[in-house]
Amino acid sequence: MKQEMHPLAKLARKAVEDYVNGRRMVEPDELAPEMKERAGVFVSLKKRGQLRGCIGTFEPTQPSVAQEIIQNAISSATGDPRFSPVRPDELKDIEYSVDVLTSPQPVEDKAQLDAKKYGVIVEAGRRRGLLLPDLEGVDSVDMQIDICRQKAGISPAEPVKLYRFQVRRYR
């Protein structure tokens, strides 16, 4: 039995489907309480268990979580440089996950991190890399930090500032 999609994941799906099928921006109808907040949001798309797109914001750029979801869902489907844009014939196979981020908190030491519980932001100057928590195949804090460094183009020898955040994940 398939589990009912959370309203935040449904909004991401509707945003992608409407945009891919007709280049329209969806307007959210009724906003659930968590959609009215302001927060950074990541929208991940998977097709048959494989990543198909993931774009997000560290901190809010839109007036509400709902609008953040719409923007990032469309970007995940059409603007993730790792993938070609999602085609209409793929829409039936896409699974949606929405992560709403807490505000990043600086950490003094990587001992304050936990790969399952916290996402990580690694920063050196203006370069920042982010990795969400509890990702398949990412089992250690060192692995999280290494991936963030690679994403941001930060060499292993460069000193970095570390931040952690938590997410509420909706599917």
* Segment 108-163, tens digit of pLDDT: 999 999 999 999 999 999 999 999 999 999 999 999 999 999 999 999 999 999 99
Question: Could you read off the pLDDT of 52-63 as tens digits, one per residue?
Answer: 999 999 999 999
For residues 115 and 134, the answer to whether their CB atoms sit within 8 Å is yes
Q: CA 51 to CA 14: how far, in whole Å?
A: 19
For residues 36 and 100, the answer to whether their CB atoms sit within 8 Å is no
Percent of the chain predicted with pLDDT > 70:
99
Percentages helix, strand, coil for the chain (3-state, rounded to 5) are: 30, 25, 40
In this prediction, residue 3 carries a pLDDT of 75
**Structural fold of domain 7-101:** Glycoprotein, Type 4 Pilin (3.30.700)
In this prediction, residue 33 carries a pLDDT of 85
Residues facing 50 on adjacent strands: 47
* pLDDT score of 31 more than 80: yes
In this prediction, residue 26 carries a pLDDT of 86
Average confidence (pLDDT) over 13-39: 89
* pLDDT score of 1 more than 70: no
CATH superfamily, domain at 105-170: Hypothetical protein ph0010; domain 2 (3.30.1490.150)
In this prediction, residue 76 carries a pLDDT of 98
With 0-12 / 13-18 / 19 or more C-beta atoms within 10 angstroms meaning exposed / middle / buried, residue 117 is exposed
**Domain map (residue ranges) of the chain:** 7-101, 105-170
Cα–Cα distances in angstroms (integers) from residue 162 to residues 34, 91, 108, 132, 145, in the given order: 27, 37, 7, 14, 9
The three-class DSSP label of residue 74 is helix
pLDDT band for position 73 (cuts 50, 70, 90) = very high
